[in-house]
Amino acid sequence: MSSLARGQFLDRTTPPNIFTLILLAGVSALSMNIFLPSLPSMTEYFDTDYGVMQLSIAVYLGVNAVLQIVVGPISDKLGRRPVILAGLAIFLVATLGCIYAPNAAIFLTFRMLQAAVVVAMVLSRAVVRDMVSADEAASMIGYVTMGMTVVPMLGPALGGLLDNAFGWQASFWLLFGTGIAIFWLTYRDLGETKSSSGLTLGQQFREYPELLTSPRFWGYSLANCFTSGAFFAYLGGAPFVATELFGMSAAQMGVYFGAPAVGYFIGNFLSGRYSARVGINRMVTTGCMICGLGVAASLSIFAAGFGSAEIFFGFMTFVGIGNGLAIPNATAGALSVRPHLAGTASGLAGAIMIGGGAALSALAGALLTPETGAFPLLWLMLATSVLGVTSILAVVRREKYIGV
């Protein structure tokens, strides 16, 4: 690890501890899903339709994607520290607004403002790239995202317990308390890692074409988008497969549904352990291939007439492993194409991933019917995995023959 990465814990004049970066990335994931078990009780509380409360997911993702595009250039100009602290402050105010909202419309307005917490996830990755080289960044991002995987696994279960014991507001009070703690930790520990770009904010936004015209940036970003797209398609289609095709209860589905998260944890651990040694291109290629081979194996078994819930969800572990290998390394690659635009690249690559993932999730849900079985979902996941392999091989080929 570079000397820049070795800072003193709780010393805001030095770079942050990796523990701080893990928590910054995790709070964004927690805000995404902890309240999902409370949607029925929130629907009753606000006396509205369930579809209206489901918008709390869609509007959050929409604002999340837009913010990822704009927050990068702002942080490249103003620095990581003030932008992260401002995003956390807005998140805290918005969380209180959600708790005390008198109706669904006001709740959804504050829910959109809650998406400001995405700066914590986007800029924690940019901070890593500020601190270390590309291969070291892939290792650190792997550890950061490995910590993040615990949140999606535990968040909904914790939210369900809190809702049963104290009502739907309890999840948001937990978010508020967590946000206060992380704001304090960030203020104390996160020293500025980005020197001023010397550009005006307008000039900073005009740097986007430098990324958008880079084939390597697109290669890494699309490898990231397509490989994670297999997982997003799974999110959109797996509940249907579990309940309609295999007749699983909600409790059973909850147990099986976490298979990719287990794989993702393993993949991120391997990224943290080996990326600096193996290199990001090999790690991304390996991850994309593991993801594709896992889906192909599941598809082959289903085509042979031996499909089951255990086969379907069991092979999704390989999708998680592939994502855990590919995403941290593809992210580090995208951030390293133009190191002086690391914040901009982090936001743009994240927006591409979220936007593509949302589309694939919706497409998976639309394609599935009881008559088709799981085949449309598996074919869609296989197609996105193949596109991920194609994207990273294009980067490898370009570096081999052109060098940039």
Averaged pLDDT for residues 185-209: 78
Structural domain count of the chain = 2
Q: Is 137 in the same domain as 267?
A: no
Cα–Cα distances (Å) from 105 to 38, 56, 159, in that order, read 17, 10, 22
143 touches 272 (CB < 8 A): yes
Instruction: Please check whether residue 201 lies inside any domain of the structure.
Output: no
Q: Is 186 in the same domain as 213?
A: no
| Sign of the torsion formed by the C-alpha atoms of 9, 11, 16 and 21 | positive
Q: State the DSSP string of 198-226.
A: -S-HHHHHTTHHHHHT-HHHHHHHHHHHH
Cα–Cα distances (Å) from 374 to 8, 37, 291, 360, in that order, read 51, 25, 17, 15
> What mean pLDDT value characterizes the chain?
84
Q: Is 363 in the same domain as 269?
A: yes
Q: pLDDT per residue over 59-69, tens digit each?
A: 787 788 788 88
Largest CA distance in the chain: 62
Q: Is 129 in the same domain as 222?
A: no
**What is the model's pLDDT at position 34?**
80
83 touches 70 (CB < 8 A): no
Instruction: Please check whether residue 104 lies inside any domain of the structure.
Output: yes
Number of alpha carbons in the 13 Å side-chain half-sphere of residue 222: 18
**Selection from 191, 189, 210 nearest residue 199 by Cα:** 210
Whether 299 has a pLDDT exceeding 90, the answer reads yes
Q: Is 228 in the same domain as 189?
A: no
d(CA 220, CA 375): 28
Read off the pLDDT band of 337 (50, 70, 90).
confident
3-state secondary structure of 167: coil
Whether 204 has a pLDDT exceeding 70, the answer reads no
Q: pLDDT per residue over 97-154, tens digit each?
A: 999 999 999 999 999 999 999 888 888 878 887 887 766 777 777 777 666 666 766 6
Whether 3 has a pLDDT exceeding 70, the answer reads no
Averaged pLDDT for residues 332-342: 80
Q: pLDDT per residue over 30-46, tens digit each?
A: 887 788 778 778 888 99
Averaged pLDDT for residues 297-303: 95
Instruction: Please check whether residue 296 lies inside any domain of the structure.
Output: yes
